[in-house]
A and B are shown apart, each in its own frame.
Chain A
Amino acid sequence: MKNYDVVIIGGGVIGCCVAYNLSKMGLKNVLVIEKDYLSSGSTGRCGGGIRQQWGTEANCRLAMESVKIFEQLEEELGEDIEWHQGGYLLLAFTEEEEEQFKKNVALQQRVGVPVRLVTSQEAKEIVPALNVEGVRVASYCPTDGHANPSKVTIAYAKNAKKNGVDFLIGREVVDGIVDDEGGNKVVRGVVLDNGEKIYADKVLNAAGAFSREVGMMFGVEIPTTSYRHQILVTEPLERFFDPLIISFYHHVYFRQEKAGGVVMGYGDPKELPSTKVNSTFDFAKTMAHQILDLMPVLRDVRVVRQWAGSYNMSPDAQPILGTVDGVEGYYQAVGFSGHGFMLAPAVGRAMAEMMLGKDTFVDVSYLSVNRFKGGVDTSEVAVV
């Protein structure tokens, strides 16, 4: 029988980052359980983009803290994570988008994000290969960037291991061990797919696309739903643009990775909820059509691989973090709604602080599940 202070369910970027931060703060009796392999979930399938251009003040602050951590992460972890601070260029094609961009940029500047509105001409100067026809305005933040999500995850895990954290890979959590103490639930541990029980004082649900299923094991209802998102990469090219580019109008984002390939994703608005991660030819065709409108020079460039992953969506497209009333010892960091990689460094630190009973270094209390009690209000609009 094993006894841990903390058991983390999920070896994605969130689980590994929380484990690392716990160990850094001195808690070593920690176990991460991953059913497949490290970064096998959404993390290893992710676009790798890291931006601070968000629509609410709190989200901007959280993202800014994450960028600060990313800026020195290679040094801190002693590993290459392919960090590239090439900025983010967001394109507005409609009048509504233009209005929204103006509002967002004003808010972002007030919070201290070094972002600015640029004309289509300036956008063309930043990325000469871009077709800016129809672009009304763009917003550009040079300190946004991208990195390799698998490498970040494995680097966190490696450092956590060095600090004494245990990892159990290839085992699935199939149930929670929960006691009923006078109407109050108290978490005692988890049951594995081989029947083994592992006891813990605290359990973190960091199960990504399966957050809802894992929540149910502890009697917790989580209002998250998973959707497939498809993505592809081209053959390598010499670097010819730096920023990650988003067009909400095209439902498209794309960037050039360190190895030279152009990684691009299309968020199909017709996608139905599911945890499937298969790839379709329809996606490849639509993606090609959209990208060639934005970057016609890619016409003769070959696609080498396509894949898919899950967005674990919450009702307001913001993560759900923290404790749950009436279930002692249970914590969750779920519902990242397609931007959990970029938030991981800040969220990982804040969750570790919370689990150790400390004040968090940045406010995340607004992301508690309790916010949905009175219905959904401040929806984050800037999601592809």
Chain B
Amino acid sequence: MRFVCRCEEVTEEEIVRLAKEGYSLEEIKRMTRMGMGLCQGRTCLRIAARIIAGIQGKDLSEIKLPTSRQPVVPVELGKLNEAFVKSKDE
């Protein structure tokens, strides 16, 4: 058993199974939580894209990677609130 997404413990087998059923990377992400953990898919999404491309006979460039979203690193709500208060003071 090999984990592709370590944060959410999603295995290669699971991705292979869903890719064979025809699901896209975005759909698999939402079905398994792959890439939705603390690291936000920094490594696993690319590995998964390669697996899916292989199984579905697609070129890697045809596999759309999910939009990378803010925050780039996890940030505390308290810090965000400090920024809010500061922007109101200015």
Q: Which A residues form the contact surface with B (CB < 8 A)?
A: 36-40, 44, 150-151, 154, 169, 234-236, 259, 279, 281, 284-289, 291-292, 298-307
Contact = CB atoms under 8 A, between A and B. Distances in A.
Interface of B: 8, 23-24, 26-27, 30-31, 33, 36-38, 40, 67, 69-71, 74-81, 83-85, 87
B8 to A, nearest CB: 8
A302 B84 contact: no
Contact of A289 (B8, B23, B40, B81): B81
Nearest to B21: A158
6 contacts: A36-B26, A259-B33, A279-B70, A281-B70, A284-B75, A299-B76
A305 B39 CA distance: 10
B49 to A, nearest CB: 14
A305 B69 CA distance: 6
A10 to B, nearest CB: 16
A303 B75 contact: yes
Contact of B77 (A154, A279, A301, A307): A301
A154 B78 CA distance: 36
A4 B16 CA distance: 32
Contact of B80 (A44, A150, A236, A284): A284
B78 A299 contact: yes
Nearest to B85: A289
A37 B85 contact: no
Contacts of B84: 285-286, 288-289
4 shortest A-B CB distances, which residue pairs? A288-B80, A302-B74, A150-B30, A285-B84
Contact of A303 (B24, B26, B31, B80): B80
A235 B74 CA distance: 8
B30 A234 contact: no
B26 A40 contact: yes
Contacts of A287: 80
Given A150-B30, A305-B36, A299 B24 contact: no
Nearest to A300: B76
A295 B1 CA distance: 40
Contacts of A307: 67, 69
Given A154-B31, A284-B70, A285-B87, 10 more contacts: A37-B24, A37-B27, A154-B30, A235-B74, A281-B70, A285-B83, A288-B83, A299-B77, A302-B76, A303-B74
A37 B78 contact: no
Contacts of B80: 284-285, 287-289, 303
Contacts of A169: 24
A292 B80 CA distance: 10
A306 B71 contact: yes
B2 to A, nearest CB: 21
Nearest to A277: B67
B27 A235 contact: no
Contact of B71 (A40, A154, A284): A284
Contacts of A291: 77
A340 B87 CA distance: 35
B81 A304 contact: no
Given A279-B69, A285-B83, A286-B84, A304 B78 contact: no
Contact of B78 (A44, A259, A286, A300): A300
Contacts of B70: 279, 281, 284, 305-306
Contacts of A38: 27
A247 B81 CA distance: 18
A304 B77 contact: no
